[in-house]
Amino acid sequence: MRLEDTPAAAAGTFPVGDMTVSRIGFGTKRLAGGGPGDITANGDRDRVTALLRQAFELGINHIDTAAFYPSHPEPQRGPTAFSSLGWANQLVREALAPYPPELLIATKVGPTDAGMARPDQLRELVEEDLRDLGRDHLDLVYLRQHGLASLAEHFGALADLRDAGLIRHLGLSNVRLEKLTEARSIAPVVAVQNRYGVDFGRVNDEVLRACGDEGIAFVPFFALAASGRESGGVAPNDSVQAIAAKHGATPAQVRIAWTLSQGSHVLAIPGTSDPGHLVENVAAGALRLSPEDLASLG
């Protein structure tokens, strides 16, 4: 597949380590949907695998996933309240294996049902991802940290797995600038995944700029849901709605376009369980917001 010949090409590409990815990727967290469409309730795996294949056909070659994603919506119980089910990784394997060489699959380790994993538990989590995805190495592994005074031991453990050939590239998730600096003193960091979006607090502006200066991909999560966080959907916003009406676009497309406008190193990973929304999300790569649009969005 030639990325430049696909609909996703309108968003451009960015190098993540030694791989080049479309700037619009796909997050698997929303694949399960919820309610009547929940794949875990209805066993509708064919629909989900078809959606993942459609994403690749549209030019998306960056899939973001994790073993700890819950299989259905559940009450927010804090940053480590995850169900370690592995279903998302297994569906990625069913849909896309054998994997094309240009496809980057990013995973995250750290959270467990019992809280933040210890450094000595990280190898087991990486090996679980390898089994579920059916791979002999992982393209990109984020350390999803929470509450660590220092991430040296955890990131060092992942660096050892990288040196052993189980991991190709390393990233960080949910970190401040000082943690990024600490990690980079241990091993190269190719991507940072933090919360970021329109009307969602700009506490990560400094991290975003630092990533741009160092050629590190910045990958926002909750870019569409914003303050809705785990509930998903697209957060309501009058300015977003007005700009969407002006451009004949959807609010989700405006939020994705705003995300991409924050720098050539910024990647979007909107997730959905709806094929129509997937097409719309990819089309957002061609939406160009004016300076006036961007000013009104802050």
155: left (phi over 0), alpha (psi -120 to 50) or beta: alpha
The pLDDT assigned to 225 comes to 73
* Domain spans of the chain, in order of start: 3-297
pLDDT 10s digits, 48-70: 899 999 999 999 999 999 988 75
Q: Which 8-state DSSP code applies to residue 7?
A: G
Q: Where is pLDDT greater, at 5 or 154?
A: 154
pLDDT 10s digits, 245-291: 999 999 999 999 999 999 999 999 999 989 999 999 999 999 999 99
- Quickly state the pLDDT bin for 222 (edges 50, 70, 90): confident
Q: Is the pLDDT of residue 44 over 60?
A: yes
CATH 3.30.2420.10 holds for 3-297:
no
Asked about 69 being catalytic, the answer comes back as: yes
pLDDT 10s digits, 78-95: 433 334 357 889 999 999
Tokens describing residue 142: 């984020």
Q: Is the pLDDT of residue 204 over 50?
A: yes
Q: List CB contacts of 235: < 8 A, sequence separation 6 or more.
A: 197, 198, 199, 200, 224, 225, 226, 227, 228
How many Å apart are CA 97 and CA 134, to the nearest integer? 8
The pLDDT assigned to 38 comes to 45
How many Å apart are CA 63 and CA 103, to the nearest integer? 8
- Quickly state the pLDDT bin for 36 (edges 50, 70, 90): very low
Average pLDDT value for the chain: 88
Q: Write 178-183 long-range contacts (CB < 8 A, 24+).
A: 179/145, 179/148, 179/151, 180/207, 180/210, 180/211, 182/150, 182/151, 182/152, 182/155, 183/143, 183/151, 183/155
Q: What's the whole-model pTM score?
A: 0.90
Pairing of strands 19-22, 13-16: antiparallel
Pairing of strands 26-27, 115-116: unpaired
Active-site residue, from 69, 99, 142, 196: 69
How many Å apart are CA 237 and CA 135, to the nearest integer? 41
